[in-house]
Structure 1
Amino acid sequence: MKNASLRHSAAVAASLCALACAFTSTTANAQQKTSLSVYTALETDAMRLYKEAFEKANPDIEVRWVRDSTGIVTARLLAEKANPQADVVAGLAASSLELLKQEGMLQAYEPKGFATLNAGYSDTARPPSWVGMDVWAATICFNRVEAQKLGLPKPETWKDLTKPVYKGRISMPHPASSGTGYLDVTAWLQMWGESDGWKFMDALHQNVAQYVHSGSKPCQQAATGEFPIGISFEFRAHQVRKAGAPVDLIFPKEGLGWDVEATGIMKTTKKPAEARRFADWMASREANQIHANWWAVVAYPGVAKKLDGIPDDYEQRFARNDFNWSAKNRARILAEWSSRYESKVAGR
């Protein structure tokens, strides 16, 4: 009996030791995970897929997203310049990242596989301070059912939207809070010149019912019929159309404002090795295959798929876009826009 008792005690001790070792190992692995703070304006639909795929490929790193709309993230990063909290910025507009670059806040880094990417969608400097992921462009969401009820013709151009028939029927994103709103404004100013660009926006303002704080919301409003016309972008337009909303996608003939979702590493990160691994992965074919779930144009050639409602010559419709100019003139443009149109901002 004594020997049996000893054997039982030894077995229990061994089991406890195994459990303790396993717990210690698990705790050690958890402690070894590096938390990477990533500021983003990515659509919430996409964030989970990026996090899961990156962490599967890099199990020792945990992505901690800090998300808001483009303008809010940009303002927060600039406000934190003296004490930066982000390690990486991903899924933010290239026009915003170019501004951060001009402020000396980004670390130049060429990720692995960069030579494979379409260079036209990344910083022109070498090494680049920001690297493109995908492109998004202006799209008008037009609810054909509501429009028919109201007797509204289908617009084909930006300038069509200034016709009196559309008075009070249009919603548009606020350019200070929405990257989509800002790409619209800067595209109009670059396409027509500043004098004619502001004249167009003055006329458009007469027909705008509301400026909202999201690039997605105008298309969602068009989908529900709140306003039959929403100036938005193709990701959300494609999504609401796919969900069955009676929305037509219109790509105005004069040209489309566009921007690039991109990745950049903060110069002040205390985790440079992990930040570079994140940048490497975001430039990979695997990441670009995730981009292609929603975007008709991605940085990795040959990965994008045909999306319903997006024309084959989509890229050829992009207007001229100088990111450097958009970044340098951001404060001036937003101040002028606000002085003219702030009265119709949602919630004011």
Structure 2
Amino acid sequence: MKLKKYICFIFIVVTLLNTTSCGKKSLNITYKNGYPDLKGKHLVVYVASRDEVGKSLLELFKEKTGCTYEYMRMPTEKGVERVRLEKKYPKADIFMGGSCDAHEMMKEEKLSERYISENYSEIQEQYKDKKGYWTGIEIEPLSIAINKDRWEKEFALKGIKIPKNYEDLLNPIYKGEIVMPDPKTSGTAYTMIASLMQTLGKNKALRLLKGIKSNVGKFTINGYTPAQKVGTGEYLIGINFLGDQLLVKKSGFNIISNIPNNAGWNIDAVSKIKNGPNGDIGNLFIDFCTSKEVGNTLKKISMGMPTRSDIKIKENMDFYKLNIYKEYDFTEAGNKREDLMKIWDNLN
């Protein structure tokens, strides 16, 4: 009887140890210059972040570790749908970027698996999943982009104030002059819809969304394109994340960015896809993405605000000084996606 209890006790201890390891299986690896030696290893990543971000981080990971990689860039919703379709036989190890509600959906649908990064404690509490299913690497708010050259030539003399809030976009003069992502494919646009519903309530949000939708001249597949089209002057006004707009501005295009009052925002996160083909190599990539080195790298290439507490924040990207809706609930946004998309589709 005592032997049986002892065996049962050992079984429980082993089980608990496996659980607290959060899926991090033992890897027989060595370290060189502080980085794991992953020569001969491979990683597959679905990237919903801007291509500059995904490619840069993967190249740096390869440079530091020797791990080869392949990635596919796609809009958030298409990425999640692909992971969903591949659930029985996953083809990728990591889902990177996109809107945070998508990572919440993956968690709820058991498409991702729990992993507590070695850098988890360095990530500020509000920018990571408390159960460890996703970890944020940067933050950015939604913003309204305006082509300054076109504004001054075509609109400034009409006595209209430059758009600063969503309400300003209801003016009929902007009919066909607005470009924004399609919420059916882009997490950027869905963030706008979900955040307006949370801040304004259903009735006020519907009025605003209906008016904006009627003035939109083009819906793009991904969230980055609107900033590009405003930069070139194809459209006067765009709606997407501030980081996209700052990157376009950095490239030499004359655009103005105005963050609306109580704007929605996003945590650019990484999740480990459940049962990915390359096992715990995904864990090491998440460790890498949440490191201080990568946080400082992101400041240079992405224009977002790092989630680590030990990285100095740029003045124009200080989350705490921006007039945004800080209580935005990503879990609620993820759970209500189907209902909100039906509402959006019926707005005419």
TM-score, normalised to structure 2's length?
0.82
Q: Which residue of 2 aligns with 1:104?
A: 110
For residues 318 and 131 of structure 1, do their structure 2 counterparts lie closer, same or farther at Cα, with a shift above 3 Å needed? same
Residue in structure 2 matching 1:93, options 99, 113, 118: 99
Residue in structure 2 matching 1:202, options 204, 207, 210: 210
Q: 1:235 Cα shift?
A: 1.4
Q: Which residue of 1 aligns with 2:151?
A: 147
Q: Which residue of 2 aligns with 1:43?
A: 50
Structure 2 residue runs of 5 or longer lacking an equivalent are 1-37
Q: 1:239 Cα shift?
A: 1.6
Q: Which residue of 1 aligns with 2:260?
A: 252
Distance in 2 (CA, whole Å) between partners of 1:223 and 1:271 is: 40
User: What do residues 284-330 of structure 1 show as CA deviations (whole Å, max 9, x unaligned)?
Assistant: 111111221223311112425427x6578554524431111111111
Q: Which residue of 1 aligns with 2:34?
A: none
Distance in 1 (CA, whole Å) between partners of 2:229 and 2:272 is: 35
Residue in structure 1 matching 2:281, options 258, 266, 274: 274
Provide the secondary structure at the position in 1 that maps to 2:70: strand
Distance in 2 (CA, whole Å) between partners of 1:165 and 1:148 is: 15
Q: Which residue of 1 aligns with 2:65?
A: 58
Structure 1 residue runs of 5 or longer lacking an equivalent are 1-30, 342-348
Distance in 1 (CA, whole Å) between partners of 2:272 and 2:242 is: 27
Instruction: Confirm whether residue 118 of structure 1 aligns to residue 110 of structure 2.
Output: no
Please show how residues 114-263 of structure 1 align to structure 2 within 5 Å.
114-125=120-131, 128-151=132-155, 152-253=160-261, 255-263=262-270
Residue in structure 2 matching 1:336, options 338, 343, 346: 343
User: How many residues are matched?
Assistant: 307
Instruction: Confirm whether residue 323 of structure 1 aligns to residue 327 of structure 2.
Output: no
Segments of 4+ in structure 1 off by > 6 A? none
Distance in 2 (CA, whole Å) between partners of 1:214 and 1:338 is: 18
User: What do residues 160-208 of structure 1 show as CA deviations (whole Å, max 9, x unaligned)?
Assistant: 1112232222111111211211111111111111222112111112222
Contact 1:121 1:131 in 2 (8 A): yes
Distance in 1 (CA, whole Å) between partners of 2:98 and 2:119 is: 21
Please show how residues 278-293 of structure 1 align to structure 2 within 5 Å.
278-293=285-300
Contact 1:296 1:305 in 2 (8 A): no
Distance in 1 (CA, whole Å) between partners of 2:169 and 2:322 is: 23
User: What do residues 73-108 of structure 1 show as CA deviations (whole Å, max 9, x unaligned)?
Assistant: 112112222322111212232211110100012111
Q: Which residue of 2 aligns with 1:67?
A: 73
For residues 131 and 189 of structure 1, do their structure 2 counterparts lie closer, same or farther at Cα, with a shift above 3 Å needed? same
Contact 1:191 1:319 in 2 (8 A): no
Q: 1:32 Cα shift?
A: 5.9
Contact 1:137 1:318 in 2 (8 A): no
Provide the secondary structure at the position in 2 that maps to 1:340: coil
Distance in 2 (CA, whole Å) between partners of 1:74 and 1:312 is: 27
Letter in 2 for 1:84: P
RMSD between aligned alpha carbons?
2.2
Q: Which residue of 2 aligns with 1:22?
A: none
- 281-290 or 96-105, which deviates more: 281-290
Distance in 2 (CA, whole Å) between partners of 1:48 and 1:268 is: 23
Contact 1:295 1:304 in 2 (8 A): no
Contact 1:147 1:153 in 2 (8 A): no
Letter in 2 for 1:164: P
Instruction: Confirm whether residue 303 of structure 1 aligns to residue 307 of structure 2.
Output: no
Contact 2:305 2:317 in 1 (8 A): no
- 271-280 or 99-108, which deviates more: 271-280
Contact 1:187 1:320 in 2 (8 A): no
